[in-house]
A and B are shown apart, each in its own frame.
Chain A
């Protein structure tokens, strides 16, 4: 008994002190402080370091464009930029057309819908490294893609897919990327479709609109926010493609921006200029992504996503 009393007595001043520090006004700052500190140390300072690296030369002297000039003089820079741009544009466009069609089809109720959804979702959960290997076993000249073509009598020669370069190679990578990314796009769109109130559609049908009219004038406009959000997210991810490229095509054969970064931190990391090039490439990539993010904010009117993007 005595013990308890003592404890209570000891507790009160501490509790009071705690109340003083930890009240409604200060609580959010205590809750946010760890995250804030974390981002200052592990996010801001790396960015400062990288800006410093990009704007100094090998001897540590300041030079505004030195590293960029060196980067632009690299033979692989222009193709890397073009390939990345092509890839981002084509893959996002293709994936949206396909995903939109499939989402609308999958969204209606039919027999075996659950099983089908499950199957369609599988590629999404596969690690990019593994995706690259799945397709590499198909793309080698004695691989399964040539086998299928052969068995169906579509083509009896061995097509050397891995020897493709330039735009053909980019299209090949678009195909692989689409295979693995499509499910996640479909999910976003199906979620968006689920948020469209049924009543508007029914009303339109009652007033004599055809199915396709309803799709064009009711479903698509209401789906727009979901589409914009995910297009930007997809673009950002597409700019950073590299694992599939390197593992299927090898280094340097089909240059991409992030593929270049891995090249300079990986196989040739020993060379003195490699580090500078890697920094400059990642600076440029970050800049592109940052610009895309800013455009996204402009389009969606900042912050609304943090309130959950709720449609309530």
Chain B
């Protein structure tokens, strides 16, 4: 590899920083949004960092016997928020707009001091989980949806890995007629748009009594993934030498033991990669879930439905998305080390 000269080095560094900024800036603002309270979310201009605390200035208004609460925003200005003397009202307001959980009595006793000492600043810790709690509250059956997502991912991986690796093994190890046609057919299935299948599939699933169930949904998600799995696994099985299996048989292992101890471990990267794709299909999809479920949405669908196309309370939507992102991120990066071995040989 040739070396860079200094000018090229600088350009290289600039480009790479631009890439990092382009990736990280949206994510940082997004995180900041997800942890914003009901007031911060409407602040402008926004900052890419979220605060852990809320600072309010409280003033006692003698003529009306009320507390005037002003919130200090990130640029240090005070925004008038609420005037009230009722502990309950203050407490509700603090929860809803500041994500601060504090009972009415606590707040009133905190503010008592302003009667004698004049306006005071108070700093409270935000409850960082407030938006997540609210997401589950405003999205009906979101917890059910989370469970559904996990179940459907599980079924999809099971179905696609079993059927896919069986046909992958057949494609790799045996010679038979129509092998080429089958391989082309598998590719067509893999590329065929899932949307085109989901609407008519609904008719069939209703007939099998599988409509609005996770099995039904997993059946759809497995369609491209069985093909993909057999594609990936066959390429790995070809690489595993037959002699190794035969040697194991000669040394007295039966064919089941051979499969478990020799073939399977060597096929692990392929299975890991396939299960990653199966996971991502099932976890990320919204459109098929929209078509094939009724009362049992998956999490991605629940987030989508909760947001629809409105632009208010985006902090709850952002919190919901974090719940959606984390498993996919963890799964992708755990499996990545196996997939890296795959990327070398399979172009996907």
Contact = CB atoms under 8 A, between A and B. Distances in A.
Contact of B167 (A35, A102, A138): A35
B223 A42 contact: yes
Given A120-B23, A290-B192, A305-B231, A128 B286 contact: yes
Contacts of B196: 47, 50, 282-283, 285-286, 289
Nearest to B162: A34
A76 interface: no
B303 A47 contact: no
Contact of A43 (B164, B189, B287): B189
A101 B18 CA distance: 13
A133 B206 CA distance: 33
Contacts of A162: 311
Interface string A1-19: 0000000000000000000
B309 A250 contact: yes
A203 to B, nearest CB: 13
A137 interface: yes
A240 interface: yes
A216 interface: no
B33 interface: yes
B347 A226 contact: yes
Contacts of A150: 44-45
A240 B324 contact: no
Given A136-B314, A247-B304, A53 B200 contact: yes
B124 interface: no
A243 B303 contact: no
Contacts of B253: none
Nearest to B276: A125
A151 B27 CA distance: 18
Contacts of A118: 333
Q: Identify which of B16, B230, B231, B331 gathers the most chain A CB atoms within 10 Å of its CB.
A: B16
Interface stretch (B76-84, B104-112, B113-121, B178-186): B178-186
B268 interface: no
A67 B160 CA distance: 35
Contacts of A211: 2
Interface string B26-66: 11011011000000001111111000000000000000000
Given A136-B314, A289-B196, 7 more contacts: A39-B189, A122-B27, A137-B318, A144-B26, A283-B196, A306-B187, A312-B345
17 contacts: A32-B166, A110-B12, A125-B280, A130-B324, A133-B307, A138-B29, A150-B44, A179-B23, A205-B2, A247-B309, A265-B199, A285-B195, A293-B187, A302-B184, A306-B234, A310-B235, A310-B238
Which 8 A/B pairs are nearest by Cβ-Cβ distance? A308-B235, A147-B45, A286-B196, A130-B321, A306-B183, A31-B170, A46-B200, A250-B309
